Structure 1
Amino acid sequence: MRVKGTYARAWIGAALSAALLLAAVGCTSDNSAGNAGNGNQASDGAYAGNKTPTNGQAAVQTAAVDEQPSSVYYEIFVRSFYDANGDGIGDLNGVTQKLDYLKDLGVEGIWLMPINASPSYHGYDVTDYYGVNSEYGTIDDMKKMLDEAHKRGIKVIMDLVVNHTSKEHPWFKEAAADPNSKYRNWYTFKDASEPLPGDGATGGNPWHAAGSYKYLGVFWEGMPDLNFDEPAVRAEMIKAGQFWLDQGLDGFRLDAAKHIYGDFKSSINTPDIQKKNQAWWQEFRAAMSGKKKDAYLIGEVWDSPVIVAPYLDRALDSGFNFDLSTKLLSAADDETNPDVAFSLDRVYGMYEKSSGGTFVDATFLGNHDLNRAMSVLLGNVDHAKMAAALQLTLPGNPFIYYGEEIGMQGMKPDEAIREPMPWYASKEGGEGQTKWEASRYWKEGANVEEQLKDENSLLAFYKELIAWRKELPTLRNGGIKEYKIDNPQIGSYLRVTADDQALVVHNMGGAEQTVQLTEGEFAEIAKQSKDGAKLDGATLVLPAYSTVVLRQDRP
């Protein structure tokens, strides 16, 4: 969650930080026993001993394989998705009615933005952790949607917002009104005259007036922070999580995961705060695993890999890869080699050590807090396809923000990046079209109706690339290794499993390219996004704006 401000992260700095931490960790790890059976247990010496590959060479001989079994997820803002009852607001029954669309797209998991009761349009300020927003439906509607999704092989996770509540939550209203309330210590209240740190972790002063007191709310005054030093708060949040697993959910996207104790810029990344955050999420993980062994927990830890890594130690399965998102969009926009394999390999080595081999990366191009990918790419469909090709051929669980597959546009403020999903060719829409917010970014052709009929559409491209992942174990489950091709418009990397490897090559630019590979290493083109790709011995010809996957020559 992000209420205000902008975000940028230096990719090179993150990679260097990861490399430094990896070196510092060495061969020691609390998870060493868990790591023993995982394929990524090459020593640091193996990494250090790999020379940077020259043209057409790969560093795969000495470094072991890091596999990441993955699924394709789709983020849904229910309010904007599909309206089943005609009130203009999307609802859970609308999600149910569009499950076949998601199945056809190739989606294997859904992330629902908040569906709990809330006074806001976005839902990140909860007033009832056990209820469904009445505009979205009922608990029974939720159960029906979960049942239908599971019938189609689609898992469902939802946002669970535990860092803070709404100031309209009965707990907070009672706590603010009565200093003797049992809920008083569920929040952080201080005397208004007391000197308090004003360097809120998200910007601005995090203290807000409440009579003769002030209360802590790092995002804004409408979201008072819960106090996780209070045992009753931890127990209640565990109870809420287990309740939703009992309803059939498969896990949670955990909002503001690093802000449980990270309230101030001056202390958020100190060892003490990091350890307290980690300890809470380990406690939560243990409780959720006790209810549902394979519950998937993915956290919003909007920071560098060195900050993310500890959260993967017996706590989260995944952290969203914010650094990678910026890198992929920049490469597509600039028509240049994204050059991500070396950095990712180093980061994944660090995550392996921290998680004991259990982590799965979570890649994305856009989400509900960021300007939409198609707007970042200035409406260029070729660039959007190349960004998607990069994301969908990399390791980890790819997350697609609703409408990204049809090129929806949108720029801040937040409402404009969460607009109604355009199902119809007409701007007026039709049955099921949500209308809670007037669309400022509706574009001709960026709708489901037209793109379903067009085999060259962005939607068709997404379907094709997702199908590749399902057909090729190297793309679905493999790790990543560097493969150098000396051409600034060519991106390339190996996807590697324990018993196979494939070479992914992207022509990021608008002109045909011819490149040289290692003689005899790859036998044939397994997949190509455009007709016209050719492999003649070690010579590969790539059409403009295209991607190929090459199959290894195996005995």
Structure 2
Amino acid sequence: MNKTLITTTLTALTILASCQSEKQPEVKNYWPQAGITYEIFVQSFNDSNGDGIGDFNGVTQKLDYIKELGANAIWFMPIMPSPTYHKYDVTDYKAVHPDYGTMDDFKNLLAEAHKRDIKIVIDMIINHTSTEHPWFQASKSGRDSEYRDYYVWAQKDTIADFLNKKVITLDSDNIQQWHDPGIGEDFYYGFFWGGMPDLNFDNPKVREEIYDIGKFWLEEVGVDGFRLDAAKHIFPDDRPLDNHEFWKEFRSKMVAIKPDVYLVGEVYDKKEIVAPYLPGLPALFNFDFHYTLIESLNSGNGQLLLQKQKEVLEFYQGITSEFTDAIFSSNHDQPRLLNDLNEDVAKYKQASAILLTMPGAPYLYYGEEIGMLGLKPDEHIREPFLWDIKEKDTGRATWIEPKYSTDETVGSVEIQRNIRDSFFNHYKELIRLRNSHPALAIGSLEILELEYPESIMAYGRKTDGQEVLVIHNVGAESMELNIPSEFDDVLYKLGTVEKNKESVTLGKNSTILLIK
């Protein structure tokens, strides 16, 4: 096992059971405004029947683990039938993939999650379907098909100038958007890939189909909400206003079915493009946060993320005061965070300390809490979760041979549970700290007027009844800083920290939280 990631020798273990536990403040559930959502790729999470593929029953078996970690909700990557491993090309919107189990299995998972006060959000992929979806099969059968207009078709001579498009976007490296189905001169539009034809949302029948699908999952199945994939591509990029209007209509339809429905959108772009979607999608993933967090840590510039987040939140406020900022440090499309930070353990731990002390609603990608590794292609960012050492891990999925997250590089949950300063216990402590201090969960972001060096990221989190001062040194050099004298109680510290009455000294990648 890689000793820089985790130590497994018995002499290095600090058994948690031997430690005296102090009485903890009450833990509250701040979801969706500021709670923790745990992202799961079912295929890799926990295999209950030994077929090598994770499944719903496997997730149900691990709900107590998710509760122990402190998460308030689960976002499931696609669970509907699909011909691909990732399942972002759906063939049936009102069913679940048989590899994952039955609809009854999923409903049981849902019921057990709700018993534990864990909400369930599923991926809803409506920008496109699979080419194997019955709608597309009927659509390509001929121009007279009643489903022809469910997709976007054009004759080859009318789109000649677009057939060899070479533009790569932030969220797609597909350089060809028009595709030949091999049935004559007609081509269909598929922004992401030829196997994913885009639905035609100019067709009212398509919109009604989508609203009916939403109703099915909310009303008949009982999920709590949707993560909306590729939300800015419902209409082409040159029709952003149509995209905004569609999502407002979608939201109104879903709220009519379930007033407290949760909707979080993937608009993979900068804040100026993202923010106008808020009236339709009240929660949006903050990609600026993700990239700037990594840049701040790797450059040693703590001011970068602080200023970026201030800009984003102020920009959002200019659109609406009612929004949820879905912040994240990694997800299923990005390299694993530890890889992005060059496997620097100190930076990795500080990244989570920043994520979980910033305003917003943090998303945690499965496996980040144990330091899983992974680089492109995407399959290797989605490798099987490690519950125990391989010989004892009956739930470990085997659908793919892991390249990065193995027993030699990553400590399993069962190993890390018994190591006081493991990644798992680090995440668990931070989540509990956030969920038990209102200022850290729902408090405002207060930018300090103190003149600190570039490597210092310092901010206040404030509610009417509580105020916390957060200071991170993301640089490599030790820093001594003056602090307001009223912050005299240490709430949390990470790394090398020394506190005096009116100053603190923070070593490399060290953090301190102070409370009045």
With structure 1 as the length reference, what TM-score do the two structures score?
0.82
1:513 partner amino acid: M
Query: SS of the counterpart of 1:526?
Result: strand
Distance in 1, matches of 2:465 and 2:318, equals 22
1:207 partner amino acid: W
1:209 has 2:173 as partner? no
1:248 has 2:260 as partner? no
- Identical-residue share of aligned pairs (%): 43
Measured after TM superposition, the shift of residue 489 of structure 1 is 2.8
In structure 2, what is the equivalent of residue 438 of structure 1? Answer: 401
Measured after TM superposition, the shift of residue 380 of structure 1 is 1.7
Distance in 1, matches of 2:214 and 2:389, equals 40
In structure 2, what is the equivalent of residue 307 of structure 1? Answer: 273
Distance in 1, matches of 2:256 and 2:36, equals 26
In structure 2, what is the equivalent of residue 275 of structure 1? Answer: 241
Name whichever of 249-258 and 339-348 sits farther off.
Answer: 339-348
Structure 1 residue corresponding to 2:258, chosen from 292, 307, 313: 292
In structure 2, what is the equivalent of residue 78 of structure 1? Answer: 42
Distance in 1, matches of 2:446 and 2:314, equals 11
Structure 1 residue corresponding to 2:469, chosen from 484, 499, 503: 503
Preserved CA contact (<8 Å) 1:372 1:410: yes
Distance in 2, matches of 1:368 and 1:280, equals 26
Measured after TM superposition, the shift of residue 532 of structure 1 is 4.9
Preserved CA contact (<8 Å) 2:74 2:120: yes
1:110-137 CA deviation, whole Å, 9 max, x = no partner?
A: 1100000101000000000000000001
Preserved CA contact (<8 Å) 2:496 2:510: no
Residues 368 and 82 of structure 1: CA distance in aligned 2, closer, same or farther (over 3 Å): same
Measured after TM superposition, the shift of residue 547 of structure 1 is 1.8
2:454 partner amino acid: P
1:161 partner amino acid: I
1:224 has 2:224 as partner? no
Alignment of 1:521-532 (within 5 A): 521-529=486-494, 532=497
Distance in 2, matches of 1:529 and 1:74, equals 23
1:387 has 2:358 as partner? no
With structure 2 as the length reference, what TM-score do the two structures score?
0.88
Distance in 1, matches of 2:266 and 2:465, equals 33
Query: SS of the counterpart of 1:135?
Result: helix
1:449-508 CA deviation, whole Å, 9 max, x = no partner?
A: 211111110111101111111111111001212124422332211112245432101122
Alignment size in residue pairs: 473
Query: SS of the counterpart of 2:398?
Result: coil
Q: Which runs of 5+ in 2 are unaligned?
A: 1-30
Name whichever of 146-155 and 506-515 sits farther off.
Answer: 506-515
2:206 partner amino acid: V
Preserved CA contact (<8 Å) 2:349 2:423: yes
Distance in 1, matches of 2:235 and 2:87, equals 22
Query: SS of the counterpart of 1:324?
Result: helix
1:268-295 CA deviation, whole Å, 9 max, x = no partner?
A: 1x4xx11100111111100111111111
Distance in 1, matches of 2:176 and 2:508, equals 50
In structure 2, what is the equivalent of residue 453 of structure 1? Answer: 418
1:106 partner amino acid: G
Distance in 2, matches of 1:547 and 1:396, equals 19
In structure 2, what is the equivalent of residue 129 of structure 1? Answer: 93
Alignment of 1:308-457 (within 5 A): 308-313=274-279, 315-355=280-320, 357-426=321-390, 430-441=393-404, 442=406, 443-457=408-422
Q: Which runs of 5+ in 1 are unaligned?
A: 1-66, 263-267
1:393-451 CA deviation, whole Å, 9 max, x = no partner?
A: 1111111111011111111011111111111233x562111000000012434321211
Structure 2 residue corresponding to 1:261, chosen from 219, 235, 254: 235
Measured after TM superposition, the shift of residue 533 of structure 1 is 3.8
In structure 1, what is the equivalent of residue 4 of structure 2? Answer: none
1:431 partner amino acid: T
Query: SS of the counterpart of 1:541?
Result: strand
Preserved CA contact (<8 Å) 1:485 1:516: no
Measured after TM superposition, the shift of residue 375 of structure 1 is 1.0
1:533-555 CA deviation, whole Å, 9 max, x = no partner?
A: 4241x212335433221113xxx
Measured after TM superposition, the shift of residue 205 of structure 1 is 2.0
Preserved CA contact (<8 Å) 2:386 2:393: no
Aligned CA RMSD, in angstroms, stands at 1.9
